Every structure is written in structure tokens, then in C-alpha cells.
Amino acid sequence: MKYLCQVWFDGSKLEAMTQEEKHRLDSDSLAYDRDLTASGHMIHAEALQSPRSAVTVRVRGGETSVTDGPFIETKEHLGGFILIEAKDLNDAIRVAAGIPLAKLGSIEVRPIYSFGPEA
């Protein structure tokens, strides 16, 4: 079964880190990605740019509007994701708990909805 592990964290915690701490976090994250690949759990992972680079798109009554930045101001923002293959939710939770940014923020684990005959 596929699960999306959304990585949420408070950007101010990253901004407060030293260059050495950021480098260590990056190294730990890349190493964990390699471990997930080796174990067969990894499907794909990406880090996202700051919410300041985001735009929000809405279509209402056939009209498209685009707004700079995130829709809601929150302390935590989506910083990246890891799409994994896991045997069940408990396995997915175990994988999510190993994500280095789980120590700074939270990881939302959500099963992927399957369209089609096997759904």
C-alpha cells in the first residue's frame, strides 16, 4: 500500500539553526532517503521551497484567481513529502517516525486513494 508522509515544521526553527546544524539535518535526511530506497519503502521524496514562494489558485464560478503566498498563516508549513510503499499503516508510521524532521515538526501519514478496480 502507498502512503504519503507529509513533513510539517515551523520554518523559524530551521532559520534559528546554525549552518552546521542545517548541514547535519540535510545529511541525515539524505541518508534516511537512501535507507528507505535500500529497504524498498521509497517511491519518491522532495523538499519544498518556502511558503513565501507559493501561490494559491482558486476557480469560482468559472473565474480563476491567483494569490501570492499560502492561503492560511500558520506556524507550521508543508516542507516536503516522502511517498512510500508500506505493508500497512503501522509499517508506514514506523517509517515516518524515522524521518529526521519528525524531531522538529510533525509527519502526517496518509494512505493514497486508489482510483480503479482495485479500490
Domain contains 117: no
Among 10-14, 17-21, 59-63, 103-107, where is mean pLDDT lowest? Answer: 10-14
Domain contains 70: yes
Tell me how far apart the alpha carbons of residues 33 and 75 are, in angstroms, rounded to a whole number. 26
Q: What is the pLDDT of residue 118?
A: 59
Domain contains 8: yes
Q: What is the pLDDT of residue 99?
A: 96
Report pLDDT digits (tens) over 54-110. 888 889 999 999 988 766 667 788 999 999 999 999 999 999 999 999 999 999 999
Range of the domain at 61: 2-111
- DSSP lists the bridge partners of residue 59 as 64
Domain contains 79: yes
For the chain, give the mean pLDDT. 91
Domain contains 36: yes
Q: What is the pLDDT of residue 52?
A: 83
Domain contains 74: yes
Residue with cell 532559520: 15
Domain contains 39: yes
Task: Count structural domains, the chain.
Answer: 1
Kindly report each contact of residues 12-16 with a partner whose C-beta sits within 8 Å and lies 24 or more positions away, as own/partner: 12/75, 13/104, 13/105, 14/104
Q: What is the pLDDT of residue 72?
A: 61
Which CATH number belongs to the domain containing residue 106 in this structure? 3.30.70.1060
Domain contains 88: yes
